[in-house]
Amino acid sequence: MPVKLDNESELREAQAALFNVNSQSGWLLLNYVGPHTVHFAAGGEGDVDELKNHLENDQIQYGLVRLGGIQEKGTLKVTIRDVFINWIGPEVAIAEKGKKSAHLGDVQTFLQPFHAEVTVHNKDNFNHQTVLDKSHPLSGSHVID
């Protein structure tokens, strides 16, 4: 069964602010409000640490975080990277992980566009630098344990 978004207009408004051409940072977060329904829950202009404060250990949540001011190696070019975050809290039951893994594609469609995807299992290692490293196309693993 596909996942539904129950407050799309609020999400689109938050995305418009996040994707503003002058925006160098920001984030937004979706939470489950039912077995097959997600809800735009929060957003902000801060960084990964601000988003991290909203992650729940017993939940699967989805976010989008903007990393600005990235200096590309070997060039003078400074870029922005929008990263899809798939948070799987350490207290989420295995059965729940299995059921909700089928929703990932639908949720990614809600949060497009983004440059990279990172799965996060551990808040202690979830910070700006780790997201920057794991979201690089040549990073290998895109998982933060």
What is the tens place of the pLDDT at every residue in 83-102?
Answer: 999 999 999 999 999 999 99
pLDDT at 74: 74
- The alpha carbon of 72 is separated from its chain's Cα centroid by a whole number of angstroms, namely 22
Residue 131: closest CA among 88, 77, 74, 68: 68
Give domain 4-137's CATH superfamily: Severin (3.40.20.10)
What is the tens place of the pLDDT at every residue in 35-88?
Answer: 999 999 999 999 999 999 999 999 999 999 999 988 877 778 888 999 999 999
| Range from 17-21, 29-33, 53-57 carrying the lowest mean pLDDT | 17-21
Residue 29's beta-bridge partner residues? 42, 63
> Is-contact 30 134, C-beta < 8 A?
no
CA distances 26 to 12, 30, 52, 130, Å, are: 14, 14, 12, 16
